[in-house]
Each structure stands twice: as structure tokens, then as C-alpha cells.
Structure 1
Amino acid sequence: MDTGIILLLFAAGVVGGIVNAIAGGATLITFPVMLMAGLPPVAANASNAVAISPGHLLAAIADREKIPPLDRALCLSIAVSIAGGMIGALLLLALPDRLFVLPVPALIGFATLLFAFAPHLQRWTARRRMDSRPSSVAGACVLGGASIYGGFFGAGLGIILSAILSIADPGDIRRVKVLKNLLATGVSLAAITIFIVQGRVYWPQTAVMLFGALAGGYIGGFLVRILPARAVRIAVIVAGTVMTVVYARRYWF
């Protein structure tokens, strides 16, 4: 790697760490940079997953007083998340790069839309949970689908899980967020274990971005007190939109 690529990867990690700490959505920044660094698309996705993996776990630990008891329901949810993450990762690795690149613009676009409409989605789920609660089987199926998506690509997984958990659990939002981070950690660890065992992680690029993400997360912990989350959200949405257009032109036209 030349100096320019190293600086780009580290900077993307820092920005991604800050973005995750304040508003979420780091993958919309970090995954395209892995592609810019010259990694094949599938390897870029796998390496990016490893680079940003500590974020959810650190967030859960930061609010550990809200971690739910390790009962049957939590164990089942974690098991479903891990299984889904493994299935998603295996599906990703089963695709050759030439096929994976086809849905990349759509995946980035979907994640961007999900991120943009997250506040509306959260309000909808808040109203929905007042009306009804889904069965445990239905909840496990939906969680499994979300986990498979998370293992396959991952951008927007936190938003999807927050929506699912807000419907299933009428408790406070902090508990929902902590549980979301725990389940996302399960998905992430399952997926990156598969990626590492299969040798699909490019470690030099991953290590540089990982250190940047850790530094960005630390910085974000301070910036969250002064930076308006709305401004960060707008910047991420603009970046995601630009990346969607760029990769649509590259892979579709």
C-alpha cells in the first residue's frame, strides 16, 4: 500500500467511527473506501466488516446497566443472530465478485434510504408496538432475515434491528438500543469468523481502517456532545447518495 491509500483508509475509519458514535451508518463511508483501495468487492465487504466490528460491542458495554438478563428469550435471539450472520456470510462468499457487484449499488442505495428514513421508521414502530406484539416465531423469523442480510452486507443492520426490537419490546429505548447492539455483535462476530477462516480478509487494509475506527469512536464520544446529529446524518445521506450513483454508473451502465 502506498501512503495515500493508508491515509485514505485511516481517515475513512476515523470518520466512520465518529459517524457511528453520533448517528450510525459508518458502512456507507467505509465500504466504498475499501473498494477505492483496490480490494475485490467480496473481500472489500469482508474486510470492512472486520474493521468496523468493535463498534456495536463497545456501544453495548458503554450502557451495560441496560443489558437484559441472560434468559431463554435472549439466548434464542443471540442464537438466531449468530446463525443468520453465518448464513449471510456464506451466501456472500458463494458469490463470485462479478455477481456480487451487481446488487452493490442497490444495497448502498437501500441502506441510504433506510438511514434517511430511520426517524420515521422509529416513530412508526413506536406506534406499532402500542397496537400489537408479534408472536415469538414471527419475531425469530424476522430477526433471522435481518441477520442474514447483516452477514451478507450489513449496512443499515442497526436500523433494521432497532425497528424489529421496538415492535417486539415495549420497554424503554435504551434497552432496545443495547439489545440491538448485542444482536448486531452476534451477527458481526459470526460473519467475520467465517470471513477470517475462509481467508477473505485483507489484513493490512483492515488493520489500518480498524485503528482509524477505534480512534474515531473515541473522538465521537466527545463530539456527540457538541456536534448536531442532524448535520452528521445529512452528510452521511449525501455520501450514500453519491456512492449509489457512482457505483450504479460503474456496475450497471
Structure 2
Amino acid sequence: MKYKKNLKKLLVYLLLIIISGLFLIPVLWIVLSSLKTPTDLYKWPPSLFPKEITFVNFETAFKKGNFGVYFYNTTVVTILSTIITLIINTMAGYALAKYKFYGSNLILIGFLSTLMIPLEIIMIPIFIVIRTLGLYNSLWGIIIPPAATPTGVFLIRQYLLGVPDELLEAARIDGASEWRLFWNIIVPIAKPVISVLAIFSFMWRWNDFLWPLIVISDPQKYTIQLAISNFIGEFNVDWPSLIAMSVISMIPVLIVFLIFQKQLVKGIVTSGLKE
């Protein structure tokens, strides 16, 4: 019986490894392609591994494509937007989870209902507001509009529903203010789900293309995704440099995921199980 159980577990792990390998093949292909010479890249039939490893493609991307400026712009947008997102969504989720007031459920439904509204429907009103406020063609025009997300509010609320109300009441009896209660009790408890939201927000802002395309017109303020799109010429595409830029754009997201992967799993498992 134990032998059959171990064999079944081994087969499951083997299947998961094969599936993971299939998903990783495109990533491995583009990483190895960024290290190829142009001759090796255009060779037919193509090969997975480069005959000669070169970093010229990365050097060309930074010099010819002005990639350092785009990387800086995207880093600023992503970090500031993620910080604002965490603050706003954590406060909103905490209020909807622990403050009892009339219409709280209606407000939550209103938040969640916005998930069904695609950006294409509301982008014109948002653009008018951005232009009226003087944020057009500025990085703040990318940072501010997507700061409050219904997904983030829902995740935080669901997680905090599992925090005992008695813990908060005891802190209030001891004289803790609402701000101190939030920063010293709620935020440390909610670290797993806050980490999940941080990863999601980082990925959303780092890979965002449509909204920066609408808001930004100055090439010096382009983000990475706009730069990669703009790198494709009308009659010619510098594929080696383009692939190198794509590889560089994947590294920050991968680093953030590796740092917070434990919190990601824990937060996803616990966020949707509270009622």
C-alpha cells in the first residue's frame, strides 16, 4: 500500500515537472536567444543553445535604444504606484472588514462590480480627468489612476475578516488610537496578503502598455513596454536588441516573485477562505 502511494506521488511530481518544463521552454528560448550573435539567431534550422555567447545585444539595447532611461521611468512608476496601491487598498479593505457601518456591503459590491468594466470603456473619462488636472504626458498620469484596485480591496478584506474582533477591542481598551491599531496590529498581521498585492501591483504596473500609451507622448518618458513596442521599425526589426530588452524587462518581476513567493502562496491560500 505504501509502495503504491509513493509511486502515485512520484508520478504526480513527474507530471508537474514535465508541465513546468513546457511552460519554461519559451522563457529559456528567449533568454538563450538574447545571448546569440545575429548570424546565429537567424540561422535555419534554429538551435536552442548559442554557438558563441555574446552580450553585445544588451549593450546595443542600452546605447542605441536609450534603454536606461526607459528602465528608470518604469522603475519609478512601478515602485510609487505599488506603494500608493498598498496604502489605499489596505486601508479600504480594513475599513470594509472591521468597521460596521450602513452600506458597507453595498460599497463592496460596487467595488467588485467595477471588475466587469473593461478599461476601454472608462479610458476616455479618465483621460479627460488626467488632462484637466495637468497630468497628461507625465509619469504621475500613469501612477495615480490605477492606484485603487477592486482586486486589492477584496483580497485585503477577505484576509482581515479572519482577524478576531476581540484583538482590536482589547487594543482600544488599552488606549490604542485607530491609526496605531492599524499600523501596529493590522499591517503586521496582513503581511502575507500585502505581499500578494505588492507582487500583483508590481507585475501590473511593470507590464502595463495601454494606459502609458494613452497618457505619454514624450519618448523620454516612455516605459519599458512602450520602448519595446517603439523599437519595432516600419521596415526593419532589430530582433537581437529587441530580445535583449525583453529579457531585461523580465528580470525585476522574477526577482520580486522569488523574494515574496512564500508570502504569495500563503496569502492566496488564506485570502479567499474567510467569510
Larger Rg, first or second structure (1 or 2): 2
Higher relative contact order (CA 8 A, sep 6+): 1
Scaled by the length of structure 1, what TM-score is found?
Answer: 0.31
TM-score of the two chains, using structure 2 as the length reference: 0.30
- Relative to total residues, which structure has the larger helix share, 1 or 2? 1
